[in-house]
Amino acid sequence: MIVVTDGSRVLGLGDLGVHGIGIAIGKLDLYVAAAGINPQRVLPVMIDVGTNNGKLLKDPLYLGLQQHRLDGDDYVAVVDEFMEAVFTRWPNVIVQFEDFQSKWAFKLLQRYRNTYRMFNDDVQGTAGVAIAGLLGAVRAQGRPMIDFPKQKIVVAGAGSAGIGVLNAARKTMARMLGNNEIAYESAKSQFWVVDAKGLITEGRENIDPDALPFARNLKEMDRQGLREGASLVEVVKQVKPDVLLGLSAVGGLFSKEVLEALKDSTSTRPAIFAMSNPTKNAECTPEVAFSILGDNIIFASGSPFRDVDLGNGRIGHCNQGNNMYLFPGIGLGTLLSGSRVISDGMLQAAAER
């Protein structure tokens, strides 16, 4: 197993340059501990193409290249060369991409996924764990799994993790609705995506092409009493979602007002997923969620939190929705099956399991 990073977007900490290597080491520790991979058969790799972190560029003790990041074709050429060399040397290796900034995460995944045994943990691992959580939430609401395509989901964040989750959730819904074009088309209407500029609609200028399929129709939003750029609170109030999914890397984004608005959810047991890491970037803490909404919610976070004592012997359970539950299994399964590529179907099966 190789876990490779360029340190450009480490968790919610941003561009750490070569200091991001700790993430690659930590992920491989989990491959050893959870998937039983021989520790002599794992290799953390840092592709140092510079850093755009001003502090590191001035730091005399910084160990990496003190220059601005390579970009464009020059950057792709370096990663191409790395992939070619690694698979020439170890034809059966699996390469996990970790903490690449959004603009490259998708491009590199699409570029290599059909030729090499590789996957991107931020895009696909986060998506798989979120799907597992979303399916688990349907079950915890006392409904059959087949009801998943009826869930109304408000997503905060449209980076690589957010878009990865949206695409995977849409595919899962489409599979349950008959796995055809019509099903795939209708599934997208279950999502409302809010980024730093508010609700994403077709009225947005310079829309990110990855987010475009989830931009809401303006006329339809008008009927819902929403507009382009509507705030998270407004969206939650109008949509009354079953699930509030946080992948924004903005700590405390699920404020008191947002959680109060969720009280009107049409679900008997709304789900709150505060998935952003590290702890200070979590969209809300379980204490805040349970104190405002009571114990009739499903709560999951990307970082570990303790269960909340609600008094009278009641406990607010805090589940951890972290990629660590998925990626060691993906790697091990790929290794054991001898699969040449890591397909969406494999990730889907892992999430459903």
> Is 228 known to sit in a ligand binding site?
no
d(CA 183, CA 181): 5
Tokens 């340190």, residue? 7
> Is 98 known to sit in a ligand binding site?
yes
Specify the DSSP class assigned to residue 147.
Answer: G
Q: What are phi and psi of 191, to 5 degrees?
A: -120, 140
> Is 15 known to sit in a ligand binding site?
no
Specify the DSSP class assigned to residue 97.
Answer: E
Asked if 113 and 345 count as a contact pair (C-beta separation under 8 A), the reply is: no
CB contact burial 206-233 (16+ within 10 A = b; e otherwise): eebebbeebbbeeeebeeeebebebebb
Strand 43-46 with 2-5, pairing: parallel
Q: Where are the alpha helices (DSSP H) in 150-274?
A: 160-176, 181-187, 218-224, 232-239, 256-261
Tokens found for residue 349: 């099966």
Rounded to the nearest angstrom, the gap between the alpha carbon of residue 154 and the centroid of all alpha carbons in its chain is 14
> Is 52 known to sit in a ligand binding site?
no
d(CA 113, CA 212): 22
Specify the DSSP class assigned to residue 3.
Answer: E
Beta bridge partners of 120: 97
What's the number of CA atoms in the CB half-sphere (13 Å) around residue 189? 10
Specify the DSSP class assigned to residue 69.
Answer: P
Write a three-state SS string for 234-250. HHHHHHCCCEEEECCCC
> Is 322 known to sit in a ligand binding site?
yes
Binding-site residue numbers for a divalent metal cation are: 98-99, 122
**Residue numbers belonging to the annotated binding site for (S)-malate:** 9, 277, 322
Annotated binding site: 9, 98-99, 122, 277, 322
